[in-house]
Structure 1
Amino acid sequence: MIRLPRLSPAAPERFPDPRTALAEPNGLLAFGGDLSPARLLAAYGQGIFPWFGEGEPILWWSPDPRCVFRTDALRINRSLRRQLRGSSWQLSVDRAFEAVIRACAEPREGHAGTWIVPGMIDAYTRLHHLGHAHSVEVWDGTRLVGGIYGVAIGRLFCGESMFSAESGGSKLALAALAGLLRAWGWPLIDTQVANAHTLGLGAEEIPRERYLCEAARLTALPGRVGNWAEDGTPLVRAVLAQAAG
């Protein structure tokens, strides 16, 4: 029988040591609590994130190994560059956060449900309004064709999910986010758990202990709280112009 710590509603900043997470299922650490801004920010600052399905209690995870992107290593590949030449696609930052998270929550081909349940949408939208969660959007005219969203704490960006309504939409959003963060001196995008898609885009797995050390260092640095649209949109547009040039 699995015995997991239950989080106290009275102490949103308190989590068990991530090193005590289960090996099977990999990274399961605790359950309960809530999705308040204070608890979410405390979790990400300690290398922990929520992941659960409809009808399940809130589950908290810190897997080993951890999957990450290095912002200085992520580039737009040749096939996407060719696609962008002559394309009318445009990029923005923090223009349509809720539309991006709702698009990410749509069921994917081959999957019956989604982990981005209504409570998660509400919680991350609240974080966005507080200036801690951000999105990069890909547009074809007024149509949203791709995007990515996640949480920023210090100089660490914790990517949550991305989507494509057109081939290449999520790849461009990810590359644009990496370019934006690289320009600001943010070295890492956390993507939590590896899959074939993220590994194919250049993600790498690192030991949890190393990730926790990097996360502690980066989250202690001064970051950018607030809406990123004004400063971020020109930078992602420069990424697009360079790729399509």
Structure 2
Amino acid sequence: MDNSTDPILTPELLLNAYASGIFPMAEHRDDPELFWVDPRRRGVFPLDRFHISRSLARRMRKGGFGISINADFNGVLEGCADRGETWINAEIYRLYMRLHALGHAHSLEVHMDGSLVGGVYGVTLGRAFFGESMFSRRTDASKIALAYLVDRLRLAGFVLFDTQFITPHLASLGAVEIPRATYHQQLHMALSGRADFTRPPVPRSAQDVLQRITQTS
């Protein structure tokens, strides 16, 4: 699906789009136009199959990083857009900052040595989390962010983690592709309940996260 949007979208229209299984993108950061996407095969993270490699587990146990929730949504959005090729244009930036202000877009940040070095952000509706983008400025920072995100989604009662597309990086961590019809069935079920992304406290240690994830993966 590739239909251009009107020049100005509202957060309400964007949320309705997510509830219908579609999301917007831009061709590049300087393109003022957006288009709707409804992939034939959708990327999702089964929340009980997140894969933590031995090297990632060692890195998490080593520590030296901090995790925060919604402490720097703007910084995460800018970090995700700070790359050679990006679909985050000015309109995308405006829309997701508005969704964040309305409590429907959230970020998880990874800090090292007092600096933001990685993170992920997405949109929540019902018990669905629509992962939008992530970034990493240090080795494994985005993997750490995803591990903490999966743990949070499970604790908060989410049942669908939508990654939109599959990359080798996501596949190595357990993400899979499912047909569009299957995705829409899962989305319908996820929208029927409620989950609160902000409710779980930040884990006291990486070991708590590792133990919970490995018990079910």
Normalising by structure 2, we get a TM-score of: 0.89
- The answer to whether residue 49 in structure 2 is matched with residue 81 in structure 1 is no
- The answer to whether residue 40 in structure 2 is matched with residue 64 in structure 1 is yes
TM-superposition CA deviations, 1:32-78 (whole Å, max 9, x none)? 22331111100110100001123252100100110100112114321
Equivalent position to 2:11, from 34, 37, 43? 37
- The answer to whether residue 163 in structure 2 is matched with residue 186 in structure 1 is no
2:21 is matched with: 47
SS of equivalent residue, structure 1 residue 31: coil
Unpaired runs of at least 5, structure 1: 1-20, 22-27
* Percent of matched pairs sharing the same residue: 38
CA distance in 2: counterparts of 1:155 and 1:202, whole angstroms? 20
Highest CA radius of gyration, 1 or 2? 1
**Range 155-164 or range 114-123, more displaced:** 114-123
2:208 is matched with: 242
Equivalent position to 1:153, from 103, 113, 125? 125
CA distance in 1: counterparts of 2:200 and 2:170, whole angstroms? 23
Letter in 1 for 2:208: Q
Equivalent position to 1:203, from 175, 189, 195? 175
Normalising by structure 1, we get a TM-score of: 0.79
Deviation at 1:154, TM superposition (A): 0.5
CA distance in 2: counterparts of 1:199 and 1:239, whole angstroms? 26
- The answer to whether residue 200 in structure 2 is matched with residue 232 in structure 1 is yes
Contact 2:25/2:92, CA 8 A, preserved across alignment: no
Unpaired runs of at least 5, structure 2: 212-217
Q: Where has structure 1 moved over 3 Å in runs of 4 or more?
A: none
Deviation at 1:238, TM superposition (A): 4.3
Letter in 1 for 2:200: G
TM-superposition CA deviations, 1:198-232 (whole Å, max 9, x none)? 1122110000001011111211212338xx2xx33
1:177 is matched with: 149
Deviation at 1:121, TM superposition (A): 1.3
- The answer to whether residue 183 in structure 2 is matched with residue 215 in structure 1 is no
Equivalent position to 1:103, from 79, 82, 87? 79
Q: Aligned Cα RMSD in Å?
A: 1.8
TM-superposition CA deviations, 1:3-24 (whole Å, max 9, x none)? xxxxxxxxxxxxxxxxxx3xxx
Deviation at 1:118, TM superposition (A): 2.0
1:114 is matched with: 86
